[in-house]
A and B are shown apart, each in its own frame.
Chain A
Amino acid sequence: MSTKFGYSVRETAQNVRRNLSLTLASVLTVAVSLSLVGGAVLLRYGVNNVTDRWQNGVEFEVFLNSDASPEQSQRIGNELQTSKDVKRVVYISQEEQYKQFKLYFADQPEYLENVTPDKLPPSYRVVPREADPDIIKTIGARFTREPGVREVVFAEEAVRDLLKVSRVIQAVILGLALVLLMSASLLIFNTIRMAIFARRREIEVMKLVGATNWFIRVPFMLEGLFQGLAGTLSAFAVLYVAQEPAQRFIRDARLFEQFAIFDSQVLTTGLFMVVIGSLLGAVGAGVAASRFLDI
């Protein structure tokens, strides 16, 4: 086993050195395409964080007083559910509100210290049957003076527009990223083909003396994996450094004043990129190896 591992690593390092320029091209393409993928994912997270409550057709939210009695809450819930203008109602309890609150203010512990779940208002998120903003306003307004209701908040036109715009931006970025990912995998494919061509005599001898196909294939797949990972990690480094100023820019430009991406979401995105990048590298190389080794 040790001979095999040492062999694979040595071969990989040698191949990378031999095809430095082509390797660099693959790594850079992976890096650019995956930064775009990662950027799109982060943007999506950020937009979702702000517009969370307005997803899936929610048009207004009825906030109750934090000390509203269970009877009051029950009555408003029933009224909403039985109304013929309402399609769907989702209840957000104080605990759930607190969970979201914690996420938003994760970097401001001084807020968290002073807030407990029982201080937050529970709410009903309402999906109406009608899309007309005037009708929605009249439905919502009915609840403003009900006992136990603190306020009714309507989705703003601006939020809806921003959702639309961000969807378009995301589609464009993802489309671009897809094209670049394809060219990245083609580049990796070609680098591996060159590497195989450079070693064809060795491969011929290996096949002759009975090396298994996996033994022959693994160094090439490791090379592809290395290219994929190197590209991914540089992409993530760039994103990691750029995301904080970008968030600040979006907030300062008053696009979304509450625009925020949580650290956990940045890390998730990074993980997602690593998975895509390594798969891209290893699979691209594996396909090239199987094809050109005729094994």
Chain B
Amino acid sequence: MIKLENVTKKYSKEVVALRDASVDIQKGEFLFLVGPSGSGKSTFIRLLNKSESPDIGRIWVAGKDIAHLSKWKVPFLRRNIGCVFQDFKLLPSKTVYENVAFALEVINRPRHVVESQVPAILDLVGLAEKSGRFPHELSGGEQQRVSIARAFVNRPLILLADEPTGNLDPTTSEGIMRLLDRINRTGTTVVMATHDQGIVDAMRRRVIELAHGSIVRDQDRGVYS
């Protein structure tokens, strides 16, 4: 599903964010990217949805070589990839329902699809009763659920999550992880960058550890350190 081959990404001559990384991720896998801040986790994620391009090496996502993907094809790549962030990136002037529907409307999905998919996904993330609320009326955990609903409403093959629990307390984080696990069980490949040791140790999934841009560990059913 995802394959990196000798990928190097530099932001300048001195700053090497990712060094000679080679990774193979199967369809339906759940993968943790761990490591301290600045170790290259975010760059790893950003390379996968073509927010960045590698300087050296090749990357395949969903069967496509994306290192040399032309600009106009990038949006179509992203329709196969859901993204979740630490800061949720919700639109404050739109309700929960509108935030999720927005993701379908801007890729031209017909109205009947929007009207059937959005309530279904809000039900899945447990926010069916709050669809008319605005983001500021929700707790952090609820906001993150909305953002996950938005990322998953289009049923992408891959879900990328960059520190999705970074702003949440442990109990709330646990709920978010249960939701991500549930999404993973539908066959969606999940790649999650985190430095939340408790979560990684509890889930016992594949762990890739990064340090100074290099992969220092790749372990199945791994723990944080």
Contact B110 A3 (CB under 8 A): yes
- B150 contacts partner chain A, Cβ-Cβ < 8 Å: yes
Contact B91 A211 (CB under 8 A): no
Given the known interface contacts A201-B89, A205-B91, A205-B103, the answer about A210 and B108 at a Cβ–Cβ threshold of 8 Å is no
Which of A186-242 touch B at CB < 8 Å? 201-202, 204-213, 215
- B61 contacts partner chain A, Cβ-Cβ < 8 Å: no
Contact B91 A202 (CB under 8 A): yes
Binding site secondary structure of chain A: helix
In the bound complex, residues from chain B placing their C-beta under 8 Å from that of A119 are: none
Contact B83 A213 (CB under 8 A): no
Q: Which of B8-16, B69-77, B124-132, B200-208 contacts A (4 or more CB under 8 A)?
A: B69-77
Contact B83 A210 (CB under 8 A): no
Contact B108 A4 (CB under 8 A): yes
Q: How far is the CA of A2 from the CA of B150 in the complex (A)?
A: 22
Contact A211 B107 (CB under 8 A): yes
3 tightest Cβ-Cβ pairs between the two chains A and B? A210-B78, A210-B79, A211-B106
Contact B79 A209 (CB under 8 A): yes
- B136 contacts partner chain A, Cβ-Cβ < 8 Å: no
How does the 8 Å CB contact mask read for B54-85 relative to A, with 1 for contact and 0 for none?
00000000000000000110011111010100
Q: How many A-B residue pairs have CB under 8 A?
A: 60
In the bound complex, residues from chain A placing their C-beta under 8 Å from that of B91 are: 201-202, 205
In the bound complex, residues from chain B placing their C-beta under 8 Å from that of A215 are: 106-108
Contact B102 A205 (CB under 8 A): yes
Q: How far is the CA of A215 from the CA of B109 in the complex (A)?
A: 13
Closest to B79 in A: A210
Closest Cβ of chain A: how far from B90's Cβ, in Å? 8
In the bound complex, residues from chain B placing their C-beta under 8 Å from that of A205 are: 89, 91, 102-103, 150
Q: How far is the CA of A200 from the CA of B77 in the complex (A)?
A: 21
- B184 contacts partner chain A, Cβ-Cβ < 8 Å: no
Q: How far is the CA of A205 from the CA of B108 in the complex (A)?
A: 15
Which of B72-121 touch A at CB < 8 Å? 72, 75-79, 81, 83, 89, 91-92, 102-103, 105-111, 114
Q: How far is the CA of A2 from the CA of B110 in the complex (A)?
A: 8
Partner of A209 from the list B71, B92, B103, B110 (CB cut-off 8 Å) is B103
In the bound complex, residues from chain A placing their C-beta under 8 Å from that of B102 are: 202, 205, 209
In the bound complex, residues from chain B placing their C-beta under 8 Å from that of A111 are: none
* A201-B91, A205-B103, A215-B107 given; 20 more Cβ-contact pairs under 8 Å: A3-B110, A204-B89, A205-B150, A207-B75, A208-B49, A208-B78, A209-B103, A209-B106, A209-B151, A210-B78, A210-B79, A210-B81, A210-B154, A211-B75, A211-B107, A212-B72, A212-B76, A212-B107, A213-B72, A215-B108
Contact A209 B150 (CB under 8 A): yes
Q: How far is the CA of A208 from the CA of B78 in the complex (A)?
A: 7
- A7 contacts partner chain B, Cβ-Cβ < 8 Å: yes
Given the known interface contacts A213-B72, A213-B75, the answer about A208 and B89 at a Cβ–Cβ threshold of 8 Å is yes
In the bound complex, residues from chain A placing their C-beta under 8 Å from that of B114 are: 3
Given the known interface contacts A3-B110, A3-B111, the answer about A212 and B75 at a Cβ–Cβ threshold of 8 Å is yes
In the bound complex, residues from chain A placing their C-beta under 8 Å from that of B103 are: 205, 209
